[in-house]
Amino acid sequence: MRVAFVSMETTHYRDTDGARRFERVARHLAARGHDVTVFCTQWWDGTDEWVERDGVTYRGVTISPALTSFAVRLPALLAMYDPDVVHARPSPPVTVLAANLGGTLARAPLVVEWFGDEPVATSRHHERAATLPDMVITPSEMVRTTVRELGATAETTQIIPESIDMSLVRATDPAETVDVAFAHPLDESANVESFLLGLAELRDRDWSATIIGDGPKREDYERQVSDLRIDDRVTFAGACDREERVALYKGAHAFVQTAYRTYFANELLWAMACGCVGIVEYQAESSAHELIEEAERSFRATDPQQIGDAIVDAGEFDRLTVDEDWAEFDRDAVLERYLQTYRDLQEAQGLF
């Protein structure tokens, strides 16, 4: 299949979770043998109009992020590429309008990837970006609701979650055993306070905890751990790469999610696939609770005391290092959901 991805600003310009997911899908499609080109602002040196990385072709539409020029040039370039599907990001939303015109010229359906961390919808262009596509894909019901509030319908929106590498989970050896793990960039949205106060409720019990992540508030959280007199049982592991995180999760019995804002609780997913019992503190701007709605090995909480209680109750479950119940989130399985979406749209338009 020939797929045109459209993202004016790639991660080389603006490194966000949504941009990383978008480019990851492109790489995974290319690895499966599909013809994938990302139409974007040129981020490479030299005068070449395109470069190839990891099997993906990057086609420079403009030399710098100039929205008007990008939107004017894109439709003709897409038409010449003649894709089977156009897959775009709504950042900025005007690029979706240009991608829609290009898709029309190429007789290809338009899919939009709406992750949730795009700039706040403030103009009619956002409404058009939500209603023009044949399908809008979101990572969670929370983000899907946002898109529907802009005018999209149940029939033109679909949830496709983030993915994990189950082969990595199965192959990695567990790190040292701990009772509970936490992972998030240590910033204002992490809400590590709830986790630490939950741990402090258990001062009279024997436990150990690992905090994974780094960021501007790390020193504040380290100070809070000391003030709560639990610093002898809490380890700050730093940022850690994916392999290190998997090993730490496989060594932990439970994983606590407290972040204020989460479009998709990716680390929670990885941790539960590694056998952790999931403990989620409900937050209005987080979709994390969606992930555990039907998971037996999980608890919901609304305050630190309930987090502490859940950590204790997690002991009811056996320790695991792999939970095959989460294999449906494996990269191949999730990629197949994208491919099936493409096929369904092509069939609906009589192109398949």
| Short-list 321, 319, 260, 269, CA closest to 295 | 269
Output the CA angle 61-65-70, nearest 5 degrees: 40
pLDDT at res. 349: 80
**By three-state DSSP, how is residue 277 classified?**
strand
- Write out pLDDT tens, residues 93-123: 999 999 999 999 999 999 999 999 987 766 7
pLDDT at res. 122: 65
Distance CA(280)–CA(270), nearest Å, equals 14
> Is pLDDT at 198 greater than 60 in this prediction?
yes
Task: Return mean pLDDT, the chain.
Answer: 95
Q: What is the amino acid identity at position 109?
A: P
Query: What contacts 283, CB < 8 A, 6 or more positions away?
Result: 191, 258, 259, 260, 261, 262
Percent of the chain with pLDDT over 90: 93
Percent of the chain with pLDDT over 70: 99
pLDDT at res. 121: 61
Distance CA(284)–CA(161), nearest Å, equals 19
pLDDT at res. 119: 79
- Write out pLDDT tens, residues 221-271: 999 999 999 999 999 999 999 999 999 999 999 999 999 999 999 999 999
pLDDT at res. 350: 75
What are the residue ranges of CATH 3.40.50.2000 in the chain? 2-163+331-348, 166-328
- Write out pLDDT tens, residues 12-48: 988 999 999 999 999 999 999 999 999 999 999 988 9
**Residue 42 Cα distances to 22, 57, 81, 226, angstroms:** 17, 12, 17, 48
> Is pLDDT at 72 greater than 80 in this prediction?
yes
> What is the CATH architecture assignment of 2-163+331-348?
3-Layer(aba) Sandwich (3.40)
- Write out pLDDT tens, residues 315-349: 999 999 999 999 999 999 999 999 999 999 998 88
Q: Among 81-85, 125-129, 322-326, 331-335, which is the least confidently predicted range? A: 125-129
Q: Which two tokens stand for residue 299?
A: 């608890």
Output the CA angle 33-37-41, nearest 5 degrees: 155
Identify the band that residue 351 occupies on the pLDDT scale cut at 50, 70 and 90. Answer: low
> Is pLDDT at 134 greater than 70 in this prediction?
yes
Q: Going along 74-167, which residue ranges are E strands?
A: 85-88, 110-113, 135-138, 157-159
> Is pLDDT at 352 greater than 90 in this prediction?
no
The average pLDDT across 274-294 equals 97
What's the CATH fold of domain 166-328? Rossmann fold (3.40.50)
Q: Are 111 and 133 in contact (CB under 8 A)?
A: yes
Q: What is the pTM of this model?
A: 0.95
Identify the band that residue 195 occupies on the pLDDT scale cut at 50, 70 and 90. Answer: very high
